[in-house]
Structure 1
Amino acid sequence: MNYNFYNFLNLLKIESIKQEKKINLIASENYASLLSIIYSSSCFINKYTEGYPSNRYYSGCKIFDIFENKAIIESQLLFSSIFSNVQPHSGVQANFASFQTLLKKNDKILSLDLKSGGHLSHGFKKNFSSSVFKIVNYCLDNKNLFNNKNIELLIKKEKPKLLIIGYSCYQSNIEWNYLRYISKKNNCFLLSDISHISGFICSGLIKNPINDSDIVTSTTHKTLRGIKGGVILSNNKLYFKKINSSIFPGQQGGCISNYIISKYITFKESNNFNFINYTKQILINAKIMLKVFIYRGYNSLNYDTINHMFLIHLKNNFSLKIEKKLEKNGILLNKNFFPNDSKNSIDPSAIRIGLSALTTRKMKKKEIELIGNIICDIIENNNLFYKEIINFICKKFPIYK
């Protein structure tokens, strides 16, 4: 199919309208601020900036050096770190650069099992990480919690070089200081991947693991509400030079210059009382919607959540079918494994729900309870359609006012 310029403009318009008309509950997504979008589309997209500030491989980078240094400083202030690399294109690249910094080929990594909420880049068998390193997994316990004693026993038995604490779906607190203690005692590095909870950490709602970790990685979208990208943080001087070398020239040439400037805006916007209040509202909304599901008889990992997301077990329903049925009604979320899931990744037993995007649209208790009940109704009855109601809610709460 051939598209001319106007066809592409029409596709962009269709996507924009779609986003306005959909209830977005995908936990990995959010709506970037207008200012971060504007800066991500700046003229710096034309500038090749291979290297680091004051040490570039191309001329004409003096203005960009100012912006990258500002992004570094703002991220350090935000996460109380003394080192930051803002160049990773994504969270996955940030993780791999951290592996290159701390490990040698075929070293052993201990990470959370995918079905327990782990991430692909932490050692999934089809991911690059498992082809370079030996992977051993720990799982959530029978209460769906991180079990420090079980992790400690695995560290003693398997003797990994690296323990990864991070997840794509988890609802409870993590005792980073204890995990740091047991990893250090067993000569094991600790990497904290805070991609999903970085907004809560910089707002002070979740403990900052920067002093308990050798390296911390994060994405800049999700709960930070920026454009897509990654960042690496550390307070251990031994790793600063290695991290930089792992990103450039280890993984990439020039960074995405216009995105670095947008990251600066994101870090700046996340370091104020308005953002703290916004993050508090995300948490309130997540707790409200989770209560709706529990009241309607559904099981989650736990009866509460300390961040923006939670899992809902679908009993005898098929998650792929439910995901598609909800999308037809204007509601977006994703199918997901539940711990000890016997089903495959195409049609697992649960759905994952995140409240960041709806909170960005300024929805609160009344709307959150209504949407939660609508989802339950659609799951339980094949003949119910709520598309008009969803459209009405979305019109009342536009993404960008």
Structure 2
Amino acid sequence: MARSPDVDVAGSSGIDDADTLHILSEQGELGSTLTARVGGEVVDFSPYVRADDTEHLRSLYRDMYLIRRFDQESTALQRQGQLALWVPLTGQEGAQIGSGRALQPQDYAFPTYREHGVALTRGVEPADLLRLFRGVTNGGWDPREHNFHLYTLVLAAQCLHAVGYAMGLQRDQLAEPSLPPAASIAYFGDGASSEGDVHESMVFAASFKAPVVFFCQNNQWAISVPSTVQTRVPLAQRAAGYGFPGIRVDGNDVVAVEAVTRWALEHARSGRGPVLIEAYTYRMSAHTTADDPTKYRLSEDERQWRTRDPLLRLETHLRSTGQADDAFFEGLDAQARTMTTGLREAVLSMPVPDLEDRFASVYAEPHPLVQEELAFFREYQAGFADDGQVS
């Protein structure tokens, strides 16, 4: 029997906040919680829930499964020296696929460097994501083609970009009322919430009622700093200080995430201003492949969160309600094997990057400091020489 990759059996929920919206129980049953307090008011999210659409639920699971397999293969490629670095997303598939599937074509997403699941929902080819991490390009895809911006490695800078873009959307729609209403969405983590760029973005967004959704994936860790150090209150509550709604959603419940994001985007598009979503989830892997999470967190915590896996929750629901059988999961596994084989072939066919080229792309003209660093790099490389040959 096919099983979600790398998950354990279901357990109890770790989210005790009554204001946290969840729809699927940990046992995969549809819960009765379809309302949540947002800005002091109770909002009914039932019009935004698509829990009765079997094919839709299956497609949500398919996206989560494929992006996890993509993540696993990418991690393996980095460990084998084919990628310079990789940024895993395991555990955050529900937050990313749920929010990405809520976007309409005219909306524009501004990711960090971990939104591989959102990229999938926007039609970005998985191999194009890896071109950046192999070091053969500074981008990898055309943002205008997918309405999905290039990855932003400067922490929280994408929030400023998203607000500026949203303010541009306002002006475009004033100039051309026939344009379909659109919004931008800014993804960031709990660690980035401590950056000044996030604060400045929310100030501007509130002042101009910009059509933007701030989507915070609270995965509990800012590299090695726990979220309890980042904030003393749920991050969603910060929105009240800026004067717009904030809501916390169970980020491991893909159905709830999609519903909340659909509502928030509709709120923004309709001219009512920004929304902050805090998707409460957990990074079940390392921050990057250069990180060792065993140095700063307990294996027991990881084990507990694995019982809340977003794939397992939806799989349990699909099986228990008869909406998917072994044939579905086995077919999906075969599809994933084909995808990962093609992914590996695509990466191995990419050029082997020449690190010296990176020095030539810092400035348009030669720069003495960069030339000094290049000379140091060449000297370092020469230290590996064997009989005059650089290994």
Give the TM bin, normalised by the shorter chain: 0.3 to 0.5
TM-score (norm 1): 0.32
TM-score normalised over the length of structure 2: 0.33
